[in-house]
Amino acid sequence: MQIKIDPILVERYIMALAAFGAHGETGVWRTVYSPEWVAATKQFAKWCEDAGLTVKHDAVGNVWGIHRGIAAGKSIVSGSHIDTQKPGGRYDGALGLLAALIAIKSLKEQFGRPKRTLEAVAFCEEESSRFPTTNFWGSSAVTGNIAPGQAETMKGYADETMADAMKAIGLEPARIPEAKRDDIETFLELHVEQGPILEDAGLAVAVVDAITGLRHYRVTLTGVQNHAGAFPMDLRNDPMAGFAEIAAGVIGTAERLGRPAVTTVGQINTYPNMPSVVPANVRFTIDTRHPDPAARMAMYASHEKTMKEVAERRGLKIEWEISVDHSPCISNPSLVTMLRDTAKVQGIRTLTMPSGAGHDSQEMEKIAKVAMIFVRSKDGRSHTIEEFSSIEDICEGIRLLAAGMYELAYA
Amino acid sequence: MQIKIDPILVERYIMALAAFGAHGETGVWRTVYSPEWVAATKQFAKWCEDAGLTVKHDAVGNVWGIHRGIAAGKSIVSGSHIDTQKPGGRYDGALGLLAALIAIKSLKEQFGRPKRTLEAVAFCEEESSRFPTTNFWGSSAVTGNIAPGQAETMKGYADETMADAMKAIGLEPARIPEAKRDDIETFLELHVEQGPILEDAGLAVAVVDAITGLRHYRVTLTGVQNHAGAFPMDLRNDPMAGFAEIAAGVIGTAERLGRPAVTTVGQINTYPNMPSVVPANVRFTIDTRHPDPAARMAMYASHEKTMKEVAERRGLKIEWEISVDHSPCISNPSLVTMLRDTAKVQGIRTLTMPSGAGHDSQEMEKIAKVAMIFVRSKDGRSHTIEEFSSIEDICEGIRLLAAGMYELAYA
């Protein structure tokens, strides 16, 4: 069985969708429920119709393109999110829904009607770029994990509520529960890698066996503000000295553990932030991830030990809150095996790797079997207009997705 | 010879001067040439007149109270600056001019006319709190170190020029050169310590044998911005990881060297400063000080080696500029010996220490022999409204200042 993916069509769809919210030469700025988002979802729906799929818009604005199977039973779904970073590139999210559509369209054209129902989905939101406290708004509606009243209280960066943003484009927040699905068996998501591992390995496509567990610490280290000249080192309680040791310590721990452990100190603010003043306090974040449940907890324990030890030795007050804490999402092992085997049959060389970034799949895992396919990112760049994946690599990824769907829905 | 210093007068002057620009319970906010500054200088001039001194206002607004000696010859001058931080306390600067006035007034009342001329001076500006690029504006006029046109180009935080600020209170920038003096033999400055060393030692007064050498590095460490989850540690060029090692390294070096070496990382800004993004760059300052010329240069060389080594090992681009670089100011050894001997005779226990902060004395050292007297600061606090020194400690300091002036002008 050989599936043909048309590279011309792939490029045309990618470029056309990127026109909605185009930002600079190669960027896209398309936040959920914005005018450019509305235009993009309409375009996606139109392409689904053109392919002969049944289109459904659900209560939160997710768009579904359905190719009914002959047999009854739960659906095989693929897709990703249609919103972007501010700005993001052309591929993050968008590629997943186009890949799903093109895979189903290609299967339909080449193999007709499947036994099992296939669906392509464009989730309305995943990036938290308009509403900082949401995440996976689209897939959370599908899994039934949006609480009553949440849309009314959730505030955007521009201070509007999610409910108002929905109403402005004709969606009714009270109807969100209608978006819940209990008839999805499998969710496959194709996404750009957003990292350099495939490029480093010289491969176009990966099968993702887990999405990493993630924890954010928000730490405040408080010392005593003093004069940078008149106060001797031995009498200081310098929170910057403590910060430096903690940051070097936790980063060093992740470096020693090696892949797939990562730890990042991306945000720091100090007060009063003046060259000649020993700071009063330093506030910073630690983003720390591991896809293995046990290794993750061991790494967090090590980080906490480092923080406590440094603070105590330097006479600093340390406080932290855990603002984000996601368990790893383990891909369905049978799906991973099926995708790896299918790739071999199709002559596609893959590696198997965890995802260091979060994805809709981890929300969908609550109601379905999930697995992901990664496509190589140039220089590992992501969340930037410089994000790039080649059409050749993308077609290899879609070919694997389509072949996987064939195994699940036709074979 | 016993000199009596009246603690009631000392307290009355301190509290009365602090009323000009009073800020909160115990603070003072009095920037150069402001209305409260004008009122404070008038009050100081009035007190000088009341004490029978001849008052002179010079071209930059320094106020001089002169007690003429019998013999011809250069003057013995004491004083400090009348401007403050935003806000500062009641003692930083103010105490030095009040101490000079009270010492001369006490000597005059108790010992009559001196052989040598004594002067008390209130320098107009030292804190850079209105004009960020000035420093020692008052004493620099006295030493002739204000360049022609400097007042016209120097901009304040509120964007006004120094020249306009001067004109607004009736001073003529073109006349600044007239403030230059070449008839000052000795400059003694009494100041609060601004650090905890006297308190730690259980002493009220110190003789200052040097003002520390000071260098500010402004450093930019540039790496590659990447996704905190998707980018493995071994492929990162993380400037925060480099910063942490550099900050821990340079602070650790000063800690190992011990007193009087100090190194402070007080300012840091990172871009984009987001929890889940490996930063593109980190900009930070290193304030590093040592009063010994050779030890200072050795410490700076060590810091630069640390910066280069870390940046190279982590594949980061490092750039720095040296934005401030002051050589140490060594007090006149005979003056230091005289003050220490005089303290012994007066029954005042002192220690001898360098100043970690900058002072007008280091500018005056260009034209005169200098030495300083420190008075104990509560908890070493400075540049805050919580700054405090007790009247008992202050009177001990003024008694030593007066006894030193007696040695130089009467003996």
Shortest distance, CA B373 to any CA of chain A (angstroms): 14
Contacts of B200 in chain A (CB under 8 A): 235
pLDDT of residue A133: 86
Pick from B235, B264, B285: CB nearest A196: B235
Chain A contact set for B355 (CB, 8 A): 229-230
Nearest to A227 among B233, B263, B357 (CB): B357
What's the CATH class of domain A7-211+328-409? alpha beta
Judging contacts by C-beta atoms under 8 Å, the chain B residues touching residue A231 are 195-196, 262, 356, 380
Q: How sure is the predictor about A282, in pLDDT bands with cuts at 50, 70 and 90?
A: very high
User: For B287, which of A258, A261, A276 is closest by C-beta distance?
Assistant: A276
What is the reported pLDDT for A393? 98
**Confidence category of residue A239, pLDDT binned at 50, 70, 90:** very high
Of A216, A234, A274, the CB nearest to B275: A216
Q: Is beta strand B75-81 parallel, antiparallel or unpaired with respect to B184-192?
A: parallel
All residues of chain A having their beta carbon less than 8 Å from the beta carbon of residue B216 are 275-276
Across the interface, of A226, A232, A266, the residue whose CB is closest to B228 is A266
Report pLDDT for B135: 79
SS (H, E, C) chain B: CCCCCCHHHHHHHHHHHHCCCEECCCEECCCCCCHHHHHHHHHHHHHHHHCCCEEEECCCCCEEEEECCCCCCCEEEEEEECCCCCCECCCCCHHHHHHHHHHHHHHHHHHCCCCCCEEEEEECCCCCCCCCCCCCHHHHHHHCCCCCCHHHHCECCCCCEHHHHHHHCCCCHHHHHHHCCCCEEEEEEEEECCCCHHHHHCCCEEEEEEECEEEEEEEEEECCCEECCCCCHHHCCCHHHHHHHHHHHHHHHHHHHCCCCEEECCCEEEECCCCCEECCEEEEEEEEEECCHHHHHHHHHHHHHHHHHHHHHCCCEEEEEEEEEECCEECCHHHHHHHHHHHHHHCCCEEEEEECCCCHHHHHCCCCEEEEEEECCHHHCCCCCCCCCCHHHHHHHHHHHHHHHHHHHCC
With H, G, I as helix, E, B as strand and everything else as coil, classify residue A374.
Answer: strand
The predicted pLDDT at position B358 comes to 94
pLDDT value for B366: 97
- Judged by CB atoms closer than 8 Å, whether chains meet at B196 and A231 is answered as yes
Confidence of residue A94 (pLDDT cuts 50, 70, 90): very high
Which residues between 275 and 304 in chain A have a beta carbon less than 8 angstroms from any beta carbon of chain B?
A: 275-279, 285, 287, 289
B214 and B357 in contact (C-beta within 8 Å)? no
pLDDT of B401 above 90: yes
- Check residue B27 and give its pLDDT: 96
A126: amino acid identity, one letter = E
Query: A214 contacts in B (CB within 8 Å)?
Result: 229
Q: Quick one: pLDDT at residue B362?
A: 96
pLDDT grade for A134, boundaries at 50, 70 and 90: confident
Tens of pLDDT, residues B7-37: 999 999 999 999 999 999 999 999 999 999 9
Report the distance separating Cα A184 and Cα B151, nearest Å: 75
β-strand A22-23 against A27-28: which pairing, if any?
antiparallel
Interface test with A, best of B216, B224, B233, B255 (most A CBs within 10 A): B233
Domain ranges of chain A: 7-211+328-409, 213-326
Does this chain's domain A7-211+328-409 share its CATH topology with A213-326?
no
* Closest residue of chain B to A291, computed from CA coordinates: B229
Amino acid at B119: E
The predicted-structure confidence for B327-356, as pLDDT tens digits, reads as follows: 999 999 999 999 999 999 999 999 999 999
Q: How far apart are CA A272 and CA B8, in angstroms?
A: 37
Place of tokens 């003996």: B411
CA distance A270 to A323: 19
This complex has an ipTM of 0.90
Nearest chain A alpha carbon to B246: A244
Interface test with A, best of B268, B375, B381 (most A CBs within 10 A): B268
**Looking at residues B255-276, what average pLDDT do you find?**
96
Could you tell me the two tokens for B338? 């005289």
Element at A34 (helix H, strand E)? none
Q: What is the pLDDT of residues B178-191, one digit of tens each?
A: 999 999 999 999 99
Radius of gyration (Cα) for chain B, nearest Å? 23
**Neighboring chain B residues of A267 at a CB cutoff of 8 Å:** 270, 273-275
Contact flag A261-B358 (C-beta cutoff 8 Å): no
| pLDDT surpassing 90 at residue A1 | no
Q: Any CB–CB contact under 8 A between B254 and chain A?
A: yes
Range 46-65 of A in CB contact (< 8 A) with B: none
Chain B interface mutation, best of A92, A257, A264, A383, highest count of B Cβ atoms under 10 Å: A264
CB-count exposure of residue A39 (10 Å: 0-12, 13-18, 19+): middle
Q: For residue A198, list chain B residues with Cβ-Cβ distance below 8 A.
A: none
Cα distance between residue B353 and residue B86, in whole Å: 28
Mean local confidence (pLDDT), A357-364? 96
CB contact under 8 A, B231 and A278: no
Q: How far is B358 from chain A (nearest CA, A)?
A: 8
User: Across residues A99-105, what is the average pLDDT?
Assistant: 98
Q: Please list every residue in chain B whose beta carbon sits closer than 8 Å to the beta carbon of residue A232.
A: 195-197, 259-260, 262, 356
From the CA of B236, how many Å to the nearest CA of chain A? 10
Asked if A273 and B270 come within 8 Å (Cβ–Cβ), the reply is: no
pLDDT digits (tens, 9 = 90+) for A34-81: 999 999 999 999 999 999 999 999 999 999 999 999 999 999 999 999
Residue whose tokens read 């821990």: B248
pLDDT at B213: 96
- Output the average pLDDT for chain B: 97
Tell me which residues of chain A, numbers 167 to 226, contact chain B at a CB-CB cutoff of 8 Å.
193-197, 200, 212, 214, 216, 225-226
The fraction of chain B above a pLDDT of 90, given in percent, is: 97
- pLDDT for B134: 87
The answer, yes or no, to whether residue A102 has pLDDT greater than 90, is yes
Using pLDDT thresholds of 50, 70 and 90, give the confidence band for residue A104: very high
Which chain A residues are Cβ-neighbours of B225 within 8 angstroms? 384
Question: In which band, very low, low, confident or very high, does the pLDDT at B47 lie, cut at 50, 70 and 90?
Answer: very high
Å from A264 to nearest chain B CA? 6
Q: B133 and chain A: CB distance < 8 Å anywhere? A: no
Kindly state whether B240 is in contact with chain A, defined as any CB-CB distance less than 8 angstroms: yes
Under the banding of pLDDT at 50, 70 and 90, the label for residue B1 is confident
Q: Using an 8 Å Cβ cutoff, are A354 and A259 in contact? A: no
- Which member of A194, A275, A382 has the closest CB to residue B267? A275
Q: Which amino acid makes up residue B167?
A: K
Q: Are the beta carbons of B28 and B21 closer than 8 angstroms?
A: yes
Nearest to A245 among B248, B267, B383 (CB): B248
Which pLDDT band holds residue B300 (cuts at 50, 70, 90)? very high
**What's the gap in Å between the CA of A3 and the closest CA on chain B?**
30
| Helix axis angle, B391-409 to B333-346, nearest 10° | 120
The domain over range B213-326 is classified in CATH as 3.20.20.70: no
Nearest to B391 by CA among B192, B97, B195: B192
A/B interface, count of CB pairs below 8 Å: 221
Which DSSP helix (H) or strand (E) runs through B81? strand B75-81
- Confidence band for A135, pLDDT divided at 50, 70 and 90: confident
User: How close B11 comes to chain A (CA, Å)?
Assistant: 25
In this complex, do A233 and B278 lie within 8 Å of one another by their Cβ atoms? no
Looking at the predicted structure, is the pLDDT value of residue B89 above 90? yes
pLDDT score, position B158: 92
Q: Identify the pLDDT of residue B240.
A: 98
Cβ-Cβ contacts under 8 Å for B404 (sequence gap 6 or more): B188, B335, B338, B339, B342, B373
Contact of A165 with chain B, judged by CB distance below 8 Å, is answered with no
Collect all residues of chain B within an 8 Å Cβ-Cβ radius of residue A248.
241, 244-245, 248
% residues pLDDT > 70 (chain B): 100
Chain A environment of B356 (Cβ under 8 Å) = 227-232
pLDDT band at A85 (very low <50, low <70, confident <90, very high): very high
Q: Which residue among B229, B247, B266 sits closest to A277, beta carbon to beta carbon?
A: B266
Quick check: A161 contacting B, CB < 8 Å? no
